[in-house]
Amino acid sequence: MSSISSVPAAVLNTSGGEGGGMHMPTLDELFPGPFWHIGDWFEFNRLDLVRVIATVALVTLIYLGARKTRLVPTRGQSTFELAMGFVHKQICEATMSPALARRYLPFIATIFFGVLALNITGVLPFLNVSSNSLVAVPMILAVCAWIAFVARGIKVHGLGHYLADNLFPKGAPKWMYVLLTPIEFLSTFILRPVTLTVRLMANMIAGHFLLTAFFVMTSYLLIDGGGLLKGVGLLTAAASFVFVCFEIFIAGLQAFIFAMLTSAYIGLAGEKH
């Protein structure tokens, strides 16, 4: 979406033909038809292709950065170490003990860089959509985070003590457990993965439609608009660039928040409540 040419053709029908004019994007854009399918149980569409490209690019970059580590690092190794150091210091050690941070660094780094890679495709030309705009990938990542912190809690406390600590807050009158226990169950075991999923998905959907709307509007004003409207089109083009930069920031911020909350949940799971 960082150029008008990268906006999907389906939403750039700005002139000519029946129903010409400015056509704003709809949710149908997030549900493209399949390129290839096997019966009714498997299909491969544009979003799947974006996921594959993002994954291959991420794995390739990490491989190139880590394949030949040296005492005097190369520029690629320095960049890789700087990125891993950021996750280690600013996310893992900010929410866990140093020993636990080292143990969970590979998992948290996978979460952070995976979410970032799938987010950043929303501003790349010819990809121009984040696969986190649909619920499937954010939900899978949230389930992985849920499994990680529940497994950590059970490993440290045992199943019975872990459930008791989370569902029956100490110090509360026993008669209040009728109210508190369902609330604690929902907040710890249901709302945590749900909020992780919805926060990531909602931000990526909002960013996608904001950028697409601005580029469609800019295209319409510059191509079909009169003299004054073409001037407005130049302003919306400048605004589009600003929003692209903002969306890059949001892509990184959402990856940071997702990884930070996952790390915090894992750290808290081992604590006595």
> Which candidate, 192, 209, 63, 51, places its Cα nearest to that of 127?
51
Ranking 35-49, 76-90, 137-151, 246-260 by mean pLDDT, the lowest is: 35-49
DSSP secondary structure, 97-150, as one string:
-HHHHHHHHHHHHHHHHHHHHHHHGGGSTTT---GGGSSHHHHHHHHHHHHHHH
Higher-confidence residue: 230 or 152?
Answer: 152
Question: Tell me, what's the pLDDT at 183?
Answer: 93
Higher-confidence residue: 222 or 4?
Answer: 222
Q: What average pLDDT does the chain have?
A: 84
Q: Left (φ > 0), alpha (ψ -120 to 50) or beta: where does 158 sit? A: left
- Model confidence at 115, in pLDDT bands (50, 70, 90)? very high
Question: Tell me, what's the pLDDT at 114?
Answer: 95
Ranking 2-16, 76-90, 199-213 by mean pLDDT, the lowest is: 2-16
Cβ 125 vs Cβ 53: under 8 Å: no
Question: Tell me, what's the pLDDT at 17?
Answer: 42
Three-class SS state of 45: strand
- Model confidence at 272, in pLDDT bands (50, 70, 90)? low
Question: Tell me, what's the pLDDT at 5?
Answer: 38
Average pLDDT over residues 176-192: 92
Write down the pTM of the prediction. 0.84
